[in-house]
Amino acid sequence: MPEADVAVVGAGAAGLSLAHRLAGDLPGLRTPSVVLVDAPPGPLRPPPRTWCHWTAGPGRFDAAVRAEWQRLRVRPRSGAPVEGDIAPLRYRMIRSDDFERVVLADLARSPNVRRLEATVEAVEDVPGGAHVHLRDSAGRMRVLRARWVLDSRPLGSLPAARTVLLQHFHGWFVRTARPTFDPAAVELMDFRTPQPAHGLSFGYVLPTGPCEALVEYTEFSARTLAPDRYEAAVRHYADEVLRLGDRQVLARETGVIPMTDAPVARQTGASVFRIGAAGGATRPATGYTFAGLQRQTRAVADALRRGRPPVPPAAHRARSRAMDAVLLRALDSGRADGPELFGRLFTRVPMARLLRFLDGSTRLHEDLCIGLRTPVGPMLRSALELPRLPRRPFDLPVPPHAPAPPADPPLPPTETA
């Protein structure tokens, strides 16, 4: 197989973003040859999924944005909801199939990026570069030689951590028979769901029209649920809390995101690096990843074009990760009541500032002011306890797959539908 300057392993959000940033010529900078290694159709390819992030102004992948909102809403277990305008930010939703279509169309026109379908068996660091051992569609073993390898494949296990919570969720894309949703606002956290004995849960609604939305049940806890319990949880939220009435489920999505204070290695060899969720792009306290991997891939692409080693930077500052470790410990120990904590934050901190805090772009004095809006006693006890806690390995669970019921029949045609 031909050699390449850069091998990008995995064609998820991180791999596609990096390949897109390396495609084409930029005046005065290098144009590396790139091979994007994508898994063949089958179990190694994840199902369609949804990514959300917030940003101000235009972005690189705006053509893939399915919907965006300027208002967010948080609902406590009882009482009035908290709603806020996040201008100049916009909360944006991207579906993975839209993202892949936009990026792959651009890559197809790029003379320096080649896409290769193969199963990666191993990545080997060798003097002066790396070998990517592949199995092609015919079952033959091949070797791709590259100066640099950027690997975005999911980790099978996490490094030893003091705290690990799983953010696991199941959602329905629904169409209702009558206008039910407010298309102008996202239900970011709706705590009117039954709360688990350990951890917290909430509903999440991304409305794409008066009659259509993604409706999800999300839980932060140490263990995933049985598949049928996810379907039951979403059904309860849709029917008993939101009271959607007649509705049709168009599609489903399920996932698990580890929320951990484990330090994730971004370099595994002299020429081999990890990017995306595998390289620590996930914000530990929230599970959001898309913005962090964009910062990473932007820095990696810039280094490659300038002839420097493409060491991925940490996607989140050390101060942010330290605060996340305290929050995760407070939630996992049960000292902090999750719905009450998040409700206080969104009630007492302007939403745009809180989103900047969650993305790590606030200043130290802003971080301190936001920290004082949390339950100070439980947070201090958790912070003092952390240095004494041992780190333990954690094997990631296989993502739960909810049963796939027969497709819902179409709603009867009505004026509202």
Give the pair of three-digit tokens for residue 260.
């951990």
> Maximum Cα–Cα distance for the chain, whole Å?
68
Length of the chain: 417
Q: What is the DSSP string of 218-274?
A: EEEESSPPPHHHHHHHHHHIIIIIS---SEEEEEEEEEEEEEE-PPPPSBSSSSEEE
69 and 24 in contact (C-beta within 8 Å)? no
Q: How far is CA 96 from the centre of its chain?
A: 11
> Which amino acid appears at position 276 of this protein?
G
Cα distances from 178 to residues 171, 203, 237, 241, 244, in angstroms, run 20, 20, 17, 16, 8
User: Is the peptide bond preceding residue 409 cis, with omega within 30 degrees of 0?
Assistant: no
Question: Residue 82 and residue 76: Cα distance in Å, rounded?
Answer: 8
Question: Residue 183 and residue 166: Cα distance in Å, rounded?
Answer: 29
Q: Residue 402: its pLDDT value, please? A: 44
Per-residue tens of pLDDT for the chain, all 417 residues = 558 999 999 999 999 999 999 999 999 999 999 999 999 988 888 899 999 999 998 999 999 999 999 999 999 999 999 999 999 999 999 999 999 999 999 999 999 999 999 999 999 999 999 999 999 888 899 999 999 999 999 988 888 999 999 999 999 999 999 999 999 999 999 999 999 988 999 999 999 999 999 999 999 999 999 989 999 999 999 999 999 999 999 999 999 999 999 999 999 999 999 999 999 999 999 999 999 999 999 999 999 999 999 999 999 999 999 999 999 999 999 999 999 999 999 999 999 999 999 998 999 999 999 999 999 999 999 999 999 999 988 776 655 554 445 456 565 544 333
Question: Residue 117 and residue 39: Cα distance in Å, rounded?
Answer: 6
Q: Residue 407: its pLDDT value, please? A: 53
Residue with tokens 């805090």: 357
Q: Residue 408: its pLDDT value, please? A: 61
220 and 201 in contact (C-beta within 8 Å)? yes
Long-range interactions of 187-190: CB distance < 8 A, separation 24+: 187/73, 187/75, 188/72, 188/73, 188/74, 188/346, 189/74, 189/75, 189/342, 189/346, 190/74, 190/75, 190/237, 190/241
CA end-to-end span of the chain? 54
Single out the residue of 255, 279, 38 nearest to residue 158, CA to CA. 279
Q: Residue 399: its pLDDT value, please? A: 57
Q: What does the angle CA 347 – CA 210 – CA 94 come to, to the nearest 5 degrees?
A: 70
Side-chain half-sphere exposure of 400, counting CA atoms within 13 A: 23
**Any residues with CB less than 8 A from the CB of 308 and at least 6 apart, and which?**
none
**Any residues with CB less than 8 A from the CB of 48 and at least 6 apart, and which?**
95, 96, 97, 251, 253
265 and 274 in contact (C-beta within 8 Å)? yes
